[in-house]
Amino acid sequence: MRKTAIGLALILLIVLTACGKPAWVGHQESEPLEGTQPLFDLKAYDPSEKVQVTWDGQTAPGTFERHPKFPVGVYLPEGATAFKMGNDTAWGFQDKQIFMTVTQNSLIDASLMRDRTEELMGYKEYKGSINDGRVADFFRVEHGGETYVVSFTYLDTAKALPLLTEMAKSLRSIE
């Protein structure tokens, strides 16, 4: 009888997880986002362009940093760098945990992004956030027939979002 109960429990578990995730994980869908204001315009990079980046009360010339894999780059404020974050390249301040990444062919799973960063909800590219103590905001950006996923990662919204939105606005395509 014990073997039968264990067998039935295993069959039940297999049936419940047949769709790829356990049945006891609640299916919570967030309302679709409908922002109208563009954050990214991905205009072509012009080496003679001078971009000022404002962060933490300081305005200074931004330094252009190209992505090593994709035909995009961004203007960084003084002190910010490009660094490896897992398999991705991140731009920002690693020590302050404020950075932006650009990836391609990444899936944005809306069921994982149940959180919202209110300050970003007006942007049409914004798809949602994950907040597990550290916030990760996700954007889908289409340019030149390609789809990119841009993410912001940070701890302190008030300190990070002004910088990250400035950096996002300075994202350029490299033709």
The 3-state DSSP class for residue 167 equals helix
Check if the beta carbon of residue 104 is closer than 8 Å to that of residue 149: yes
Position 8 pLDDT exceeds 70: no
Beta strands in the chain (DSSP E): 52-55, 58-61, 63-66, 72-76, 81-85, 88-93, 98-104, 126-131, 135-143, 146-154, 172-173
pLDDT in tens, 143-154: 888 899 999 999
Q: Enter the pTM of the model.
A: 0.77
Mean pLDDT of the 155-167 span: 94
CA torsion through residues 161, 41, 69, 66, sign = negative
Which strands, in side-by-side order, build the sheet including 172-173?
63-66, 72-76, 172-173
Helices (H) and strands (E) in the chain, counts: 2, 11
pLDDT in tens, 88-105: 899 999 999 999 999 986
Domains, the chain, ranges and CATH? 2-173 (3.40.1000)
